[in-house]
A and B are shown apart, each in its own frame.
Chain A
Amino acid sequence: MSWSQMWIAYITIVYKEVTRFTRIWQQTLLPPVVTTSLYFVIFGSLIGPRIGTMEGYRYMDFIVPGLILMSVITSSYANVSSSFFGAKFQRSIEELQISPTPNSVILLGYVTGGMARGLLVGLVVTLVALFFSQLSIHNVFVMFSISLLTALLFSMGGFLNGLFARKFDDVSIVPNFILTPLTYLGGVFYSIRLLPDFWQGVSHLNPILYMINGFRYGFLGISDIHLGFSYLIILAFTAVLFMINLKLLNKGYGIRS
């Protein structure tokens, strides 16, 4: 395949993915918006004023970046894992398998689709957040790049999940038992400096901490972590997941008998 043919194949996959999640927007775009709005109302407006400030910011303003990123993470992940698993389940993935499209393009196409949903949800949640808080942006570049890279990383993660999944339940295990806890413990709702030393140390093993803090830096200009570390961790995990996914695809894991 020439580069231009690969580009067409890539765009086709992305287009198909975007068509899929916009067609079922009630399942893909609406729920995260509803959930985060509830967070805004409960933690921001009702409980927030009683907490006072966190790191010198109104509690609501402190948690908004984490909540936005949380919606990016869950949406990107869910999009790729469920779409890829669905294609496997219906065997329509064979359309791609028999085609000359290289596996790397298949992977990037699905991942871009996941990023599109993650970022779109993130954008809508941000707009909703504007009703509840005074969002200021400290560094646009950091804000954009961290959200983009986080969406990339979790789309890669979702792809891996899709490859391994054998039944529909397998698609929800990781989000429920790993992603959600890690996100909650990754400092969405608090600064880890509130924790005892030991738990601060443990928190540093949580990769999501680095993303949330990096993203929060983009808005507020504060972070528990050095910004460089945030980028390094995200890029390292992304690279590893990319390699694993590609290797499994090349082996035909879960899709070739």
Chain B
Amino acid sequence: MTVALSIQNLEKEYDNGVRALKGISLEVEKGDFFALLGKNGAGKSTAIGIICSLVNKTAGSVKILDHDIDIDFPLARSMLGVVPQEINLSVFETPLQIVVNQAGYYGIDRKLAQTRAEKYLTQLGLWDKRNDTTRQLSGGMKRRLMIARSLMHEPKLLILDEPTAGVDIEIRRSMWDFISEINNSGTTIILTTHYLEEAENLCRNIAIIDQGLVVENTSTRELLAKSQREIYVLDLVDSIDSLPTFERGRWTLTSPSSLEVDISKQQGINGVFRELNAKQIKVQSMRNKTNRLEQLFLDMTTDDEKESA
């Protein structure tokens, strides 16, 4: 048993006729840190909704650690933790009540629940807020509360649907560390995010969903290896009036003091500097134009404008 999540030919047609999933199959290995990427409306939350029994599927099957969610639902559910995209907290209850009750729904006795509540609320920086009503928490705190809540039964598979949306950079970083630690301790993690650098830094494997279909499913490393070109932006020390003719790469002068170059990976940065040295152009600073994954992502998913044209 090495598969944490197995999805076969999952389809979903909502009552209003929207076909959110058109037959997706995925496998996530035990211990993996897996990213589920896709544009708005691609079908990520729908898939997650089906996995955690909040959405009825139209066809297909889902197994969590070998337990079918239809046949073996109590076991399947007790191994799964979910942090949903939309806040679904009872705003009149306190964080402490919310997490302790959640443990109760998994049959965990109150004493153990109290211990875990202290542990997870502390780790997520909410222990001081434990007796406030949830309505008084900020958006980022609510999101962390949902993470704490999802951990109370110590699930083997944790799915986080955009956990870092609307969270400031400092807390986002600490969330990354926190989630990585959970992963290191053996919990399989599936994450959706629109911050691609987050997926690139954290996740070992990536699937991209586009319009209800899986268009890519591979390791992060292999995916990045697919990107054959890179675009760099260079700020120059001295302005230049016109673009010199370079031997390699596609160059554009975006302003008198900045250049952009699109160059193959083989040439790399050394290639860029060889060209610049030959023309005696001095560079003040340099950066990647886009994140590599971002570029690949845009290449692989449907362009909305193209589609509607």
CA distance A4 to B86 in the complex (A): 32
- Interface residues of A, count at CB 8 A: 32
CA distance A87 to B74 in the complex (A): 22
Question: Per-position contact with A for B42-57: 1 when CB-CB < 8 Å, else 0?
Answer: 0000000100111110
Q: How near does chain A come to B71, taking the closest CB pair, in angstroms?
A: 14
A23 at the interface (CB under 8 A from B): yes
B104 touches A1 (CB 8 A): no
Tell me the A1-57 residues at the B interface (CB within 8 Å): 1-2, 4-6, 8-9, 11-13, 15-16, 19-20, 23
Residues of A within 8 A of B92 (CB): 20, 23
A98 touches B80 (CB 8 A): yes
Tell me the A150-180 residues at the B interface (CB within 8 Å): none
Closest to A87 in B: B90
B52 touches A98 (CB 8 A): yes
Stretch at the interface among B106-114, B216-224, B261-269, B295-303: B106-114
B170 at the interface (CB under 8 A from A): no
B212 at the interface (CB under 8 A from A): no
- Interface residues of B, count at CB 8 A: 36
CA distance A85 to B107 in the complex (A): 24
B15 touches A92 (CB 8 A): no
Stretch at the interface among A63-71, A99-107, A213-221: A99-107
Q: Among B75, B84, B93, B107, which residue has the most Cβ atoms of chain A within 10 A?
A: B107
B149 touches A256 (CB 8 A): no
B107 touches A95 (CB 8 A): no
Q: A98-B53, A98-B77, A102-B74 are in contact. Are A90 and B108 (CB under 8 A)?
A: no
B74 touches A92 (CB 8 A): no
B107 touches A257 (CB 8 A): no
Residues of B within 8 A of A87 (CB): 90
B211 at the interface (CB under 8 A from A): no
Residues of A within 8 A of B74 (CB): 1, 100, 102
B73 at the interface (CB under 8 A from A): yes
Of the candidates B15, B49, B104, which one forms a contact with A12 in the assembled complex, judged by CB atoms under 8 Å apart? B104
A252 at the interface (CB under 8 A from B): yes
B107 touches A94 (CB 8 A): no
B101 touches A99 (CB 8 A): no
CA distance A51 to B54 in the complex (A): 58
Residues of B within 8 A of A23 (CB): 92
Q: How near does chain B come to A217, taking the closest CB pair, in angstroms?
A: 40
B54 touches A98 (CB 8 A): yes
Tell me the B234-284 residues at the A interface (CB within 8 Å): none
A90 touches B109 (CB 8 A): no
Residues of A within 8 A of B101 (CB): 12, 15-16, 95
Q: A6-B107, A9-B107, A257-B14 are in contact. Are A95 and B102 (CB under 8 A)?
A: yes
B107 touches A2 (CB 8 A): yes
Q: How near does chain B come to A96, taking the closest CB pair, in angstroms?
A: 6
Of the candidates A1, A20, A94, A100, which one forms a contact with B88 in the assembled complex, judged by CB atoms under 8 Å apart? A94
CA distance A96 to B78 in the complex (A): 12
Residues of B within 8 A of A8 (CB): 104, 107-110
Q: A8-B109, A100-B73 are in contact. Are A257 and B56 (CB under 8 A)?
A: yes
A5 touches B107 (CB 8 A): yes
Closest to A86 in B: B90
Residues of A within 8 A of B207 (CB): none
B225 at the interface (CB under 8 A from A): no
CA distance A102 to B93 in the complex (A): 23
Residues of B within 8 A of A252 (CB): 56
Residues of A within 8 A of B89 (CB): 90, 92
B82 at the interface (CB under 8 A from A): yes
CA distance A16 to B103 in the complex (A): 13
Q: A95-B101, A257-B15 are in contact. Are A1 and B107 (CB under 8 A)?
A: yes
A100 touches B78 (CB 8 A): yes
A226 at the interface (CB under 8 A from B): no
Question: Per-position contact with B for A118-129: 1 when CB-CB < 8 Å, else 0?
Answer: 000000000000
Q: How near does chain B come to A129, taking the closest CB pair, in angstroms?
A: 32
A91 at the interface (CB under 8 A from B): yes
A133 at the interface (CB under 8 A from B): no
Closest to A7 in B: B107
Residues of B within 8 A of A15 (CB): 101, 104
Residues of B within 8 A of A203 (CB): none
Q: Among B82, B90, B93, which residue has the most Cβ atoms of chain A within 10 A?
A: B90
Residues of A within 8 A of B53 (CB): 97-98, 256
Query: Can you list 30 contacts pairing A with B, beta carbon distance less than 8 Å?
Result: A1-B107, A8-B108, A9-B104, A9-B106, A12-B101, A13-B104, A16-B93, A20-B92, A23-B92, A90-B89, A90-B91, A91-B88, A92-B93, A94-B54, A94-B84, A94-B88, A95-B88, A95-B98, A95-B101, A95-B149, A98-B53, A98-B80, A98-B82, A99-B78, A100-B78, A101-B106, A252-B56, A256-B54, A256-B55, A257-B15
Task: Give 20 A-B pairs besides A16-B101, A20-B92 with Cβ atoms closer than 8 angstroms.
Answer: A12-B104, A13-B104, A13-B105, A19-B97, A92-B88, A92-B89, A94-B88, A95-B149, A97-B54, A98-B53, A98-B77, A98-B82, A99-B77, A99-B102, A99-B106, A100-B77, A101-B106, A256-B53, A256-B55, A257-B56
